[in-house]
Chains A and B, each alone.
Chain A
Amino acid sequence: MRREKAPPLIALLAAIGAAFFVVPLIGLMVRTPWADAAGSLASADTLDALRLSLIASLAATAVALVFGVPLAWIYARVEFPGRSVLRALTTLPMVLPPVVGGIALLLAFGRRGLLGGWLYDTFGITFPFTTAGVVMAETFVAMPFLVLTVEAGLRSMDRRFEDAARTLGASRWTVFSRVTMPLIAPSLLAGAVLCWARALGEFGATITFAGNFPGVTQTMPLAVYLLLNSTNTESSYVLSLVLLLVSLVVLVALRHRWLGSA
């Protein structure tokens, strides 16, 4: 790259832009009570929230993989009427305010919802205010990230490898599992990590659809918010820092994808 000196105005605006992100992070680091950090983390409520967050976000990622990869495959490979409309609908949660997503989920899977009523009457299953509901809310918000990433991977792969596999006698399922999936492994991984990170941070849809019950539906972001409004404000800083570290790890792991080699 050519070395260039920035004009003063550009340099100033860029510096303010960067500071806007860096200062809050520094603030978090400075105000975190490091001495009590271990104690805050070890409290029963915090551990519950951490455990629930990990379980729910991983489960949401698993659900997203099971249903999202086939969906991405259909979007990338099959032409059918209404594909672009369906595709837009299923990626809507990326831009939808999460709280709206939560309400929509309630209307569909709540005990009086479109499907929820039937599920309760027939099987006695309820989703709202359960851990399963947390997983649903997180999946709803996070799965589109996986679908879009995997679809892009499928579109950019060299499909002639699939032709080669078929001439070697591979059934369409074998081609999918032994050739297509391994070849798009980087997209698959990136999509899953992105999806998981989004699920881990989910707040709005979760609190709307699943509520905020410690041990059952109270995930880390919910706990952080609750602690912030309690007498134990400093514990929320510690938890925030934990979430920050997780995000940082994800970003570093994916840096080759989005940040280039810079």
Chain B
Amino acid sequence: MSLDVAARLRQGSLDLDFQCEVGEHEVVALLGPNGAGKTTLLKAIAGLVPITDGHVRLDGVLLEDSASGRYVPPERRSIGFVFQDYLLFPHLSVVDNIAFGMRARGQSRSAAAATARDWLERLGLARYATDRPSALSGGERQRVALARALAPGPRVLLLDEPLAALDATTRVEVRHDLKRHLDSFAGYRVVVTHDALEAMTLADRLVVMENGRLVQSGTPVDVAERPRSRYVADLVGVNLLRGRAEAGAVQIAGGPRVAVAGATSGDVFAVVHPRAVSIHLAKPEGSPRNVWSGRATGMELLGDRVRVRVEGAVPLVAEVTPAAVAELGLHTGREVWTSFKATDVAVYPA
């Protein structure tokens, strides 16, 4: 049993060509930069955007298939969709919003209203039942939108940037609730986000999407440790290098050789955590095998550490303490040396 999607379509400047299978046991986060096609993919799964080439198969049943021309319209797919800005119907009360899906699927007015009220009780929003959605706060709207999508009992739950419309404080609280609902939902779950933390905390598996293509798929730990694109590396805050491995080193294309431990060969990614990168004013003499000169081009305070961007043979980010910055007299534009040990480089096939 799975939700199986293979979709090719063009929409404006987006060229989507994506394949992915979602199991029932996992929460999948679709992660990617703006314009990567995440929302379009969700809409294609829901049947709101037609697929030029490919299929959507749910529990072995074809919902859409370009080969046979089969197309099940959105209203007959068992899919709950939580839109980015929720799209609660402004002309209906909160309870009628939640009852809408059950009414549309043929339940009686009283049965639908009773179930909708149960949902509101559970969400602690019963006092707003007869209010319009505009009377609710952002976090409350998010919960109502989730309840509205879940109330008809869909097989699939699609969430498009469910927390993006919220302020930072509300987000933490709502994320906790959302996690609970996702975990208790029996069916296929896909969450679209461009926030790494959101993806890591909500999902069991990350699927990274860039320019309409799948770039990487794996557990949050796997993706964080072995990023396969600059976007993911930046997202999880590590230095990503790409080159050819040969005899204890990785030759960066058009760049320096990076000494690494262990034997690998072929096209590889090399990851260095900024914590492992040291900064020196003079060329260091010591055990680190990778020593490069460069220029500090940016500094950013992050909690109790400072991330220093160094442009050199390859751009690197080093993480040092504010005390070190003060002692070295570091400032942007300053010539520096960077070093890291071969044993601090993680290498894996590209």
By beta carbon, the residue of chain A nearest B83 is: A164
B60 at the interface (CB under 8 A from A): no
Among residues 17 to 55 in chain B, which have CB atoms less than 8 Å away from a CB atom of chain A?
Answer: 43, 46-48
How big is chain B's contact interface, by range?
20 to 34
B91 at the interface (CB under 8 A from A): yes
B38 to chain A, nearest CB (A): 16
With a cutoff of 8 Å between Cβ atoms, the chain B residues found around residue A167 in the complex are 46, 48, 74-75, 77, 79-81, 149
B148 at the interface (CB under 8 A from A): yes
B87 at the interface (CB under 8 A from A): yes
Q: With A and B bound together, what is the CA distance between A165 and B83 in angstroms?
A: 11
Q: With A and B bound together, what is the CA distance between A178 and B77 in angstroms?
A: 20
Q: With A and B bound together, what is the CA distance between A166 and B80 in angstroms?
A: 10
With a cutoff of 8 Å between Cβ atoms, the chain A residues found around residue B91 in the complex are 182-183, 185
A36 at the interface (CB under 8 A from B): no
By beta carbon, the residue of chain A nearest B145 is: A164
Q: With A and B bound together, what is the CA distance between A164 and B148 in angstroms?
A: 10
Residues B104 and A165 in contact, CB atoms below 8 Å apart:
yes
User: Which of A160, A169, A182 makes the CB contact (< 8 A) with B75?
Assistant: A169
> Quick one: CB contact mask for B97-130 with A, threshold 8 Å, 1 for yes?
0001100110000000000000000000000000
With a cutoff of 8 Å between Cβ atoms, the chain A residues found around residue B89 in the complex are 161, 164-165, 179, 182-183
A168 at the interface (CB under 8 A from B): yes
With a cutoff of 8 Å between Cβ atoms, the chain A residues found around residue B148 in the complex are 168
Among residues 248 to 282 in chain B, which have CB atoms less than 8 Å away from a CB atom of chain A?
Answer: none
By beta carbon, the residue of chain B nearest A160 is: B87
> Quick one: CB contact mask for B65-83 with A, threshold 8 Å, 1 for yes?
0000000011111011101
A233 at the interface (CB under 8 A from B): no
Q: With A and B bound together, what is the CA distance between A183 and B46 in angstroms?
A: 23
B152 at the interface (CB under 8 A from A): yes
Residues B104 and A160 in contact, CB atoms below 8 Å apart:
no
Name A residues whose Cβ lies closer than 8 Å to a Cβ of B: 158, 160-161, 163-172, 174, 178-179, 182-183, 185
